Amino acid sequence: MIGWLHGTVVEMTKPTLCLINVNGVGYEVNVPASQPKVQGEVVTFFVHTQVREDAITLFGFTTPAERELFLKLTQVPGVGAKVAMALLSIGPSETLVQAIYQGDERYLTQGEGIGPKLAKRLLNELKDKSLETSTALPGASITPLRENLPKGGYAEKQMALSALLNLGMNDREARLAIEQVYVEADGATLQVEEVVRLSLKKLSA
């Protein structure tokens, strides 16, 4: 079972299918269309592995929470991996969560193959569930992790965030600390360990 991959993008073979090189092995990973990758980009995917009799399919997400959101979507009757990916492909995952909490059926129907009937079912099934993503809590305003990045720093930020969350840090505070570290670095390249160390220093201050 593959749960995590870190490698370099070879190409996007389809709008939602990313081929990455992990130590000389090529993996095809399905990713949301709202998160396109470019050749040569270093990426980290938190993976859900779907095993069927005729195929093994990998679905990749930038954070563990986004993967959890995907799994919660697939728990809705009539919603499989294809529909869940269509929902996540509309736009940022935090926008999807907001749409669900606000009962925005129109937003959901922007997903490929999602009609009003299915959108209503999704809203009814998910309106009372906890759907927080690592990008934002409902109603929160947090600087996206793609801002203030030196070249190639996106994967490092995501790995640092994951490490802080695994240490029990608050999601919002961890994100703000990471952003402050990168702002103060003023474009310098930082290693994951250094980002974590400096962020923990800020969180403990």
At 153 the pLDDT is: 57
At 155 the pLDDT is: 63
At 49 the pLDDT is: 92
* φ and ψ at residue 90, rounded to 5 degrees: -65, -40
Mean pLDDT in runs of 10 for the chain (205 residues)?
A: 88 91 94 88 91 88 89 90 93 85 89 92 83 44 39 63 78 82 82 87 84
The pTM for the full model equals 0.63
At 86 the pLDDT is: 94
Q: Looking up tokens 């090529």, which residue turns up?
A: 26
pLDDT tens-digit series, residues 46-84: 999 998 888 889 999 988 888 989 999 999 888 999 999
At 195 the pLDDT is: 87
Helix (H, G, I), strand (E, B) or coil at 33: coil
pLDDT tens-digit series, residues 88-104: 999 888 888 888 888 88
Tell me if 125 sits within 8 A of 97, measured CB to CB. Answer: no
Mode of pairing for the β-strands spanning 25-30 and 42-51 = unpaired
At 135 the pLDDT is: 41
At 22 the pLDDT is: 94
The helix-helix angle for 171-185 and 154-166 (nearest 10°) equals 140
DSSP line for 156-204: HHHHHHHHHHHTT--HHHHHHHHHHHHHHHTT----HHHHHHHHHHHHH
Q: Cβ neighbours of residue 3 under 8 Å, at least 6 residues apart?
A: 46, 47, 49
Q: Looking up tokens 């998160």, which residue turns up?
A: 35
- Distance, in Å, from the CA atom of 44 to the CA atom of 121, rounded to the nearest integer, reads 32
